[in-house]
Structure 1
Amino acid sequence: MELFEALHTRRSIRAFTDQPISEADLETILRAAMDAPSAVNAQPWHFVVITDRAMLDPIPDIHPHAAMCRTAQAAIVSVAEIALEKAPGNWMVDCSAAVENLLLAARGLGIGSVWCGLYPRQERMAPMAALLGLPEGFLPHALVPLGYPAQEFKRVERFKPERIHRNGW
């Protein structure tokens, strides 16, 4: 898929078919995530891939906006290893860049995704950390359910020229 088509047609997909996602496609998505920029090239991220239905199904009890996990074929949780951070305060920006790459890679493969934020909501982070068995010093950042879409990818015009300022406000 052409880059700008992927950029302009990436949408939050919340309805999935039961078609499985191949390990090769999951690896392609994770490789794209790890190619993201990070402050001082710290790359403080880890990714937990969830494909076990027994783990996917209870996620909506942790995240109130993640009901689509019950039909997703996989989910990826971005996790920050705080000890790897070289520019204090930037781990969440670094992980966000990785998640955006992940979303675009999924779109490029025709796989639907939706970004479900965990950070900074402790009521979501703590139970997700428990579900995943995260060790001390590792923080869950975002949850991305994945699956082949049971809805359409379509472009929605979001360009707002009135929000562009040049050489100052």
Structure 2
Amino acid sequence: MLEAIKIRRSIRTYINKKVEEEKIEEILRAAMQAPSSKGACPWEFVVVDDNEVLEKLSKCQHRARHIKYANICIVVLGNKDKFIKPGKWIQDLGASTQNLMLEATNQGLASCWVGVFPKNKVVNKVRETLNLPEKLVPYAIVPIGYSEEENVFIDRFDKSKIHRNLYKK
């Protein structure tokens, strides 16, 4: 198992240290390598490093307060023009967001997935904050930064959740 998969966890505390542009690019490259139904690649991204915008995004939903302390955040968007099959874009963006967070871990950074879609109230707040056109659907916000907390392995393996051939209690 890849080390980044083992140690990735949600971290909501960040120190005041700039994330290097090279690392941001690698994170975005990883996000765009995600599998995508019919090769649609419906993702787009907004990289936010402006403190005022980070502050506004931190108020978009009650579990997003930590965004204002991050050095950057990446907002994962779905482009409706690329939605080929209904609902598949949600899976595509989930895979993209996971890749993004795994690469952040690989780069020695902390991150935390903040859900946006399908909560219309939150979607609209993020859309307004970022001045997004109607064709772009905010899916997730991922604050990223350096942290004094470490990504450490937490064993979540549970053999009772594995079934073979048929579901058995």
Tell me if TM exceeds 0.5.
yes
1:112 pairs with one of 110, 113, 128: 110
2:63 pairs with one of 53, 62, 65: 65
Partners in 2 of 1:57 and 1:88 — Cα distance? 33
2:116 paired with 1:102: no
Question: What's the RMSD between the two structures over aligned residues?
Answer: 1.0
Map 1:102-141; keep pairs closer than 5 Å. Answer: 102-141=100-139
* 4+ long deviations beyond 3 Å: none
Number of equivalenced pairs = 167
Give identity over the alignment, percent.
37
Q: Does the residue aligned with 2:73 lie in a helix, a strand or coil?
A: strand
1:131 Cα shift?
0.7
Output one character per residue of 1:111-141: Cα deviation in whole Å (capped at 9) or x when no partner: 1000000001111110100111111221000
With the length of structure 1 as denominator, give the TM-score of the two structures.
0.96
1:42 Cα shift?
0.4
Q: Which runs of 5+ in 1 are unaligned?
A: none
Partners in 2 of 1:130 and 1:150 — Cα distance? 33
Q: Which runs of 5+ in 2 are unaligned?
A: none
Give the equivalent residue in structure 1 for 2:142: 144
2:24 paired with 1:26: yes
Partners in 2 of 1:166 and 1:154 — Cα distance? 30
1:41 pairs with one of 28, 34, 39: 39
With the length of structure 2 as denominator, give the TM-score of the two structures.
0.96
Q: Does the residue aligned with 1:57 lie in a helix, a strand or coil?
A: helix
Give the equivalent residue in structure 1 for 2:10: 12
Partners in 2 of 1:150 and 1:122 — Cα distance? 34
Q: Residues 56 and 129 of structure 2 are in contact (CA less than 8 Å); yes or no, is this contact kept in structure 1?
A: no
* One-letter amino acid of the counterpart of residue 31, structure 1: R
